[in-house]
Structure 1
Amino acid sequence: MLPFFPAFRQSRIRFPKVIGSLLFLLLLSGIAQAQTAKFTINGFIRDSESGENLIGVSIYNPKTGQGTSTNNFGFYSITLPQDTVSLVITYVGYERMAYTTYLNRNLEQNFSLRNNSQLEAVEVIGERSEKIKESTRMSTVSVPIAQIKKLPALFGEVDVLKTLQLLPGVQSGGEGSSGLYVRGGSPDQNLILLDGAPVYNASHLFGFFSVFNADALNNVELIKGGFPARYGGRLSSVLDINMKEGHMNEYHGEGSVGIIAAKATVEGPIKKDVSSFIISARRTYIDVLMRPFMNIQTGVAGYYFYDLNGKVNYKFGQRDRLYLSAYTGYDKFYVRFKMSDEENNSRLGWGNLTTALRWNHIVNNRLFANTHFTYTKYQFDVGNEYNSTYPDQNGELKTDKFLLHYFSNIRDLSLKSDFDFTPTANHYIRFGGQYILHSFKPGALQVKDNFSDGANNIDKGTQVLGHEAAVYIEDDIKLTDRLKVNAGLRFNNFLVDKKVYPSLEPRLSARYLLTEDLALKASYAKTTQFIHLLTNSTIGLPTDLWVPATKKVKPQSAEQVALGLARTVFDDKFEVSLEGYYKKMNHLIEFNEGADFLGTTDNNWEDKVTSGQGWSYGMEFFIQKKLGKTTGWVGYTLAWATRKFPDLNNGEIYPYRYDRRHDVSIVVSHQLTEDIDVSGTWVYGTGNAVTLDEVQYYMGGSGPIGDSGSRNNFRMAPYHRIDFSLNQTKKKSWGEVVNSFGVYNAYNRKNPYFIYFDEGYSYGNGQRRPKFKQISLFPILPSFTKSFKF
């Protein structure tokens, strides 16, 4: 038992009794199944060619209307009465399978599904088969990896996060940015998981690209609300990404060469049907391409980033499997020059390291266990080293040295156990617990020199430890043929510097079938976040600082409710949803006016911030088609997002920077022939809110003094653009080659990136004529990428 758990007894929350009562009620109907003869079928469902586990496959009994789906590791379990059972196994993009048996004993049965692409090359591979009207979950979207790869991309670089920005309720931070702003939340409020390990900074090139290499990914799911109890620690969204496991039977590879980057992936068996691996790498060569243009007399400047993904797995019999996966990525910007007597090196670097060790164990035919240990590290550092050589009074050469180094990091060690339990076909129970050791170093400043009294002056900063623990239980319950409920409860506890923050979080989602084709859905979720991101920039810079809740700074918290309608139309080829939501956030933090991260060492950042509230609400419409020659979606968002801080904007409510009233996206992909497909996207969004001076004063010879009146008092011009891409596939004896042509911002829209004040002069009469000017980043940009697969 962790040392801070006794604090539970000091709170008013009767935690053991609450969980015990809920667990008893959830299992009550499951226990009743012992009164009649019932048996369980369980096993794994995999791709017939690669052996890859398939996530979200539907297993359905048409006779009783009962069914289930595979979990994140391809495992399923369904308990049915003794009788002749006919199961239908369906998965979008795969052949439908039927299985019939007389069920008079517990049965272990694995299935292998054949990919439709082997039969109909023009069909796009989908990912999930549970119909939107049947699921209790709402505010959840998955986009097929195959579809992501076909869409237009900036510089031809396929980007998972940029695709998610095209979904309703999700915004980008700005032109070309890969940041996610979900339902009025900020980037730190997104729980981004890669094989269960959190990723704290998901951006390369100052936010223009994400860290996720699509060639290494198997599944992507975004949850915007109605969070299941198994997820916690963030307020606005969960992005759950799973890497591929590696081909179990054959060696395969793929890669691409584009305008700014190249990547390669290799996968295959270590021992057939027992163990496999996958390795994927990506690197930009911007530094090489730009070197002729960035020579600085006797020096050079450059920038590059790289990613490396790896994963191995091993089956220990039929009941146990071990996975080890890792990711590392780094960005580096540098300037170096050397003259006869001076040398100056400057650098800015940031990167992630994640590792996940996961053990799957089938306890029995109804209970599946997944235990995983993860390590995560994110760090940035800024440095400058200067050396100057000169002769002293005696003519001997001396060298003055100066070193400035500023760095910050956050590290997590986590141990988590999750259990999937299916006592009957009408219950799908998940429960488990997690412990996280957070290590924060908000800022450390290191200064060294050999020519002053402050020689070798070093400030190491201060490390802060935070202990986070949680237990949860949830049950997906089918109460009647029309009513299905997911009820859950999560209890969190956070200890930092002897201060304990307990949090009880109820979660509830429900689906009621108004008709056979139309479902009414509702959800409620309370969430708590024990970490904050300090930022005073308009884009997600690597210098943003991660800090914990403390005695002075409380954890963030939020409550979100949603209500919506969902149905499938046109022979179940289209999924349609309409949702309304309301979210209130408490204990958000912002820098005080004039404060920033510089000099933020030890714990003095607490004195630079103020705490406040936030609200967001709106409506989202979404229609999606995943199958056929033509696929895509249309999304529309009508939303409001506001903030209120007692020490900012005179304590008055003001619009959040990403308070965007209207957001529209249209995404279409079409297979023209077996060898050629085309895609296009069009986006439109209300301009971001910005703070601009309403009045400026000139006093004496000093510069202008501005008065904005209120925060975020102006709107930029609306943002819109259209992108196109064409992919040509050529079959070869050894595999295939794909030539991809793309155009970003095809009609050359000058979208605003930021606005600045230009004092200006009218030289005719000497009077100033100040005005605001807009900076735009990307004009029309063509791209070409050559990909291969074998």
Structure 2
Amino acid sequence: MRIVFTLFFLLYTFKVSAQERITISGFVKEQGSQEQLPGVNVYIPDTPYGTVTNTYGFYSLTLPVADSALIVYSFVGYEKTERKISLTKNTELNILLTTINQLEEVVVSSRRQEDYVSRSAQMSQIEIPIQQIKKIPAFFGEKDVLKVLQLMPGVQKGTEGQTGLYVRGGGPDQNLIILDDAVVYNANHLFGFFSIFNSDALKSVELTKGGFPARYGGRLSSVLEMNMKEGSKDALHGEGGIGIISSRLRLEGPISKGKSSFLISGRRTYIDILAAPLIARNQRGSDEQVKPGYYFYDLNAKINYDLGTKDKVYLSGYFGHDKFYANETGNNDESRAGLDWENKTATLRWNHLLNQKLFVNTSFIYSNFNFGVSNDSKDLNTDGSTQDEFSLRYTSKIRDWGVKTDLDYYPSPKHAVKFGAQATFHRFIPSALALKGSFIDESIERSVKPVNTLESGIYIEDTWQAADALKMNAGFRISSFQTASKTYIRPEPRFSAALRLAQNFSFKASYAQMNQYVHLLSNTGLGLPTDLWVPTTDRVAPQQSKQIAIGLAKDLEKPALTLTLEGYYKKMNHILNYKEGASFLSINGENANELSWEDNVTAGKGWSYGAEFLVHKKTGRFSGWVGYTLSWTKWQFTELNFGKTFYPRYDRRHDLSVVGIYELSKRITLSATWVYGTGNALTLPMASFTGVTDNFFSRFSSGGKSTVTWNGDRVNEYGEKNSFRAEPFHRLDLALQLHRKKKRYERTWEFGLYNAYNRRNPFFYDISEEKLANGNTKSTLKRYSLFPVLPSVSYNFKF
């Protein structure tokens, strides 16, 4: 912290120019709700003077003294506002912007200033308006932020229907997912088919794939920053929807009108309720009774209070839970199985305006992720007494307490400086296992002591308008990670620049060095909740990456399009994977009580490189984008695949997305998406032969290259890892929205069609054995698909 305050002192006392200057500063908010707006462009036309509001809607613009000037405020989805003011003294100027949809008619006559991607030093960044997300066709009508991001170049899905993000060759653990400054470790509902993020509660979504600003750290591949809405300060408002598998409701309104507000948003699935009668009907006439079920819920909440013109306090949180259960009762046996996981986050933030040029945000952060598996079964005698029993308990947890301070300093129109520090206290319980049974030689109790670690970092970055045609962002971060007996300290330089070659046409370049101190161990590579979060230790080094990217950005006036073309190369070191035959439930009968997860992993390196192309239109009656990615990803581990390089599961040569949204009228919206992608790289057996095994524990080791069939004689032999390429997948989704505006509320019926032409995309492959008449066995490779054409309907309302 001493370094941070030293930097602050130097920056605060720094004299930019001998020329007399004045400062215009304030907050930009939404008319009515008074929601603070991040990313609003503030500029003086036909001059180099301009800035952008920060995450909390604050801006500061230092200008030479003059009689007057015209200042313009513009933002996507809002009416442009102009103010002519005197530049003779420091002025505080707060602005309210009016949303376009509050007007009867809007004519877009020219390209809005804030859309000019070519004028920003930042590259490899994706920002999608929330209103555009809500118009895109969705799986079962559930609007999902992560699935929309999968439609962007450089972002790939793992498996059909899954929400996992694979950014420029990185795994799901290499994405820093932030919700109101809190890190979210598992973003999945329904085993990865839905994300935990309810778009009704979100204000902004921004994904950075490269050229990372120095304020971000802790992951290798991307930063997904989401901010929740603050709640309306003028009146009570609500929004909700009723769909096929879940319903949701958001309420927001003032606590003290004009000073404080609240927001609460909830969602709950009712799959378990709808499925119960069908399951009961299927079981009639059977001696067995099966009661399976699954549900999830999530809740977002936020309150904020204005303590005055210079201080604001926010308290926000997220709470989500998934639970799967299966209870079975027969004549001679009983079993109960369960699988559940939960996320909890809480953030307390304090905004303080030290002066017109210096803005401070301090956050206190809590994050918690728990995962558990349970299984209890009994074999009964005819008199009801227990003959054999089996019990399994498995848990994994990670809990964070953190604090961070970020300062925004605006010394002159040519400089916007950010600096700060953060510290996070992690507590890991990597894997605790209890296994016992009457048919097991010895009960297993593997209780892992909590692992306490401290992760911290300090940073400084400056966005500098070096010349009329050159804008740069240069920064430096120092990160550290402290275990019980070792401290890692790593430098992380960052740089990005944009050189304007012509009007609204720029060449961009960036370099970023990243370190990651937490790891996700996965057999599937899908980022499911069954995967295991573990820390860097004395034996396991942190992951590292170095990424360089270059590109071109062009903004067109008519039509209002943004075109970007980027190429990147990324090198990754110390990435982790399970050894052959290991998994999160790896057990060995001889030493299971002492086995550590560190004994099950191996470290390696990876490379990812490729090119990305995007054409994006955010405004107008017709909007959408076309994104294409050509990429290669390779891994190499000494203890895997005989030390040879191989393609990981989510390597994808070609990835194409086409998204279109058309406002046919004020009452009808049509939308469609079409995706195409190269199939996943998989490991399949090349041959099989007869073998014998009777080891009970082999049932729990499913991640290796040699799999022995339980109670059988068949042993599979595999070739090189992931040498089989699945069939390409492609899919068309359609949606029709019918809007109706009543006197006091708006309602929307949405009809959707997922996988409209019923493409049977591969979900997994299996080899089946068939006995022939001559006694020989025939092996057949079978492809299994998950989703046929699926219609959906939902009812949405807003007041």
Q: Which residue of 1 aligns with 2:449?
A: 462
Q: Which amino acid aligns with 1:774?
A: R
Q: Which residue of 1 aligns with 2:533?
A: 546
Q: Which residue of 1 aligns with 2:35?
A: 52
**Residue 673 (structure 1) aligned with residue 665 (structure 2):** yes
Deviations 1:138-195, CA, capped at 9 Å, x for gaps: 0001111111111111111111000000000001110100000000000000000001
Offset, 1:538: 4.5
Q: Which residue of 1 aligns with 2:99?
A: 115
Q: Which amino acid aligns with 1:608?
A: N
**Residue 746 (structure 1) aligned with residue 756 (structure 2):** yes
Deviations 1:533-586, CA, capped at 9 Å, x for gaps: 011124332110000111111000000000000011143710100000000000
Q: Which residue of 2 aligns with 1:10?
A: none
Structure 2 SS opposite 1:654? coil
**Residue 154 (structure 1) aligned with residue 139 (structure 2):** yes
Deviations 1:279-304, CA, capped at 9 Å, x for gaps: 00001110011112334643411111
**Residue 61 (structure 1) aligned with residue 7 (structure 2):** no
- The root-mean-square deviation of aligned C-alpha atoms, in Å, is 2.6
Offset, 1:67: 0.3
Q: Which residue of 1 aligns with 2:416?
A: 428
382-391 or 297-306: bigger deviation: 382-391
Q: Which residue of 1 aligns with 2:368?
A: 377
721-730 or 562-571: bigger deviation: 562-571
Q: Which residue of 2 aligns with 1:82?
A: 65
Equivalent residue in structure 1 for 2:431, among 415, 419, 443 = 443
Contact 2:116 2:504 in 1 (8 A): no
Q: Which amino acid aligns with 1:360?
A: N
CA distance in 1: counterparts of 2:536 and 2:199, whole angstroms: 34
Contact 2:378 2:386 in 1 (8 A): no
**Residue 628 (structure 1) aligned with residue 637 (structure 2):** no
**Residue 766 (structure 1) aligned with residue 753 (structure 2):** no
Equivalent residue in structure 1 for 2:467, among 466, 480, 483 = 480
Contact 1:444 1:602 in 2 (8 A): no
Offset, 1:695: 3.0
Q: Which residue of 2 aligns with 1:72?
A: 55
Shift in alpha-carbon separation, 1:390–1:663, aligned structure 2, 3 A? closer
Deviations 1:410-446, CA, capped at 9 Å, x for gaps: 1111100000000001100000000000110001123
Contact 2:740 2:748 in 1 (8 A): yes
Offset, 1:458: 5.0
Offset, 1:709: 2.0
Offset, 1:341: 8.1
CA distance in 2: counterparts of 1:231 and 1:738, whole angstroms: 38
Shift in alpha-carbon separation, 1:367–1:408, aligned structure 2, 3 A? same
Offset, 1:27: 8.3
Contact 1:486 1:510 in 2 (8 A): yes
**Residue 409 (structure 1) aligned with residue 418 (structure 2):** no
Q: Which residue of 1 aligns with 2:156?
A: 171
Shift in alpha-carbon separation, 1:508–1:20, aligned structure 2, 3 A? farther
Equivalent residue in structure 2 for 1:729, among 739, 743, 767 = 739
CA distance in 2: counterparts of 1:391 and 1:662, whole angstroms: 60
Q: Which amino acid aligns with 2:527?
A: G
Q: Which residue of 1 aligns with 2:84?
A: 100
Structure 2 SS opposite 1:655? coil
Q: Which amino acid aligns with 1:378?
A: F
Q: Which residue of 2 aligns with 1:593?
A: 580
Offset, 1:268: 0.5
Equivalent residue in structure 1 for 2:684, among 680, 692, 715 = 692
Q: Which residue of 2 aligns with 1:129?
A: 114
Contact 1:127 1:144 in 2 (8 A): no
Q: Which amino acid aligns with 2:312?
A: R
Contact 2:215 2:419 in 1 (8 A): yes
Q: Which residue of 2 aligns with 1:257?
A: 242
List aligned pairs for 1:315-334, cutoff 5 A. Answer: 315-334=306-325
Q: Which amino acid aligns with 2:277?
A: P
Offset, 1:711: 0.7
CA distance in 1: counterparts of 2:455 and 2:146, whole angstroms: 28
Q: Which residue of 1 aligns with 2:487?
A: 500
How many pairs align? 767
CA distance in 1: counterparts of 2:46 and 2:149, whole angstroms: 38
Structure 2 SS opposite 1:471? strand
Structure 1 SS opposite 2:719? coil
Q: Which residue of 1 aligns with 2:730?
A: 720
Contact 2:470 2:497 in 1 (8 A): yes
Shift in alpha-carbon separation, 1:368–1:178, aligned structure 2, 3 A? same
Shift in alpha-carbon separation, 1:572–1:501, aligned structure 2, 3 A? farther
Q: Which residue of 2 aligns with 1:12?
A: none
CA distance in 2: counterparts of 1:550 and 1:452, whole angstroms: 33
Q: Which amino acid aligns with 1:57?
A: V
Q: Which amino acid aligns with 1:778?
A: F
Offset, 1:655: 1.1
CA distance in 1: counterparts of 2:560 and 2:642, whole angstroms: 52
Q: Which residue of 1 aligns with 2:346?
A: 355
Deviations 1:374-416, CA, capped at 9 Å, x for gaps: 1001111011234678799xxx988998643211011111100
Q: Which residue of 2 aligns with 1:308?
A: 299
Deviations 1:248-296, CA, capped at 9 Å, x for gaps: 1010111111111111110000011100001000011100111123346
Contact 2:172 2:526 in 1 (8 A): no
Equivalent residue in structure 2 for 1:709, among 703, 706, 719 = 719
Contact 1:727 1:741 in 2 (8 A): yes
Q: Which residue of 2 aligns with 1:757?
A: 767
Contact 2:675 2:732 in 1 (8 A): yes
Q: Which residue of 2 aligns with 1:6?
A: none
Q: Which residue of 2 aligns with 1:517?
A: 504
Offset, 1:123: 8.4
Deviations 1:722-750, CA, capped at 9 Å, x for gaps: 00000001122220110000000001001
Contact 2:332 2:382 in 1 (8 A): no
Shift in alpha-carbon separation, 1:398–1:313, aligned structure 2, 3 A? same
List aligned pairs for 1:123-272, cutoff 5 A. Answer: 129-272=114-257
CA distance in 2: counterparts of 1:62 and 1:102, whole angstroms: 16
Report the TM-score when normalising by structure 2: 0.92
Structure 2 unmatched runs, 5+: 588-592, 694-711
Equivalent residue in structure 2 for 1:777, among 778, 786, 798 = 786
Q: Which residue of 2 aligns with 1:9?
A: none
CA distance in 2: counterparts of 1:156 and 1:566, whole angstroms: 34
**Residue 563 (structure 1) aligned with residue 554 (structure 2):** no
Offset, 1:93: 1.6
Structure 1 SS opposite 2:133? helix
Contact 1:57 1:128 in 2 (8 A): no
Q: Which residue of 1 aligns with 2:264?
A: 279
Identity %: 48
Structure 2 SS opposite 1:720? strand
Q: Which amino acid aligns with 2:573?
A: N
CA distance in 2: counterparts of 1:229 and 1:730, whole angstroms: 46
Q: Which amino acid aligns with 1:564?
A: G
Structure 1 SS opposite 2:685? coil
CA distance in 2: counterparts of 1:292 and 1:38, whole angstroms: 74
Shift in alpha-carbon separation, 1:639–1:534, aligned structure 2, 3 A? same
Shift in alpha-carbon separation, 1:20–1:709, aligned structure 2, 3 A? farther
Structure 2 SS opposite 1:188? helix
Shift in alpha-carbon separation, 1:116–1:397, aligned structure 2, 3 A? closer
Shift in alpha-carbon separation, 1:46–1:700, aligned structure 2, 3 A? closer
**Residue 528 (structure 1) aligned with residue 515 (structure 2):** yes
Offset, 1:345: 2.2
Contact 1:48 1:114 in 2 (8 A): yes
Q: Which amino acid aligns with 1:771?
A: T
CA distance in 1: counterparts of 2:361 and 2:192, whole angstroms: 34
Structure 1 SS opposite 2:679? coil
Q: Which residue of 1 aligns with 2:565?
A: 578
CA distance in 2: counterparts of 1:761 and 1:526, whole angstroms: 56
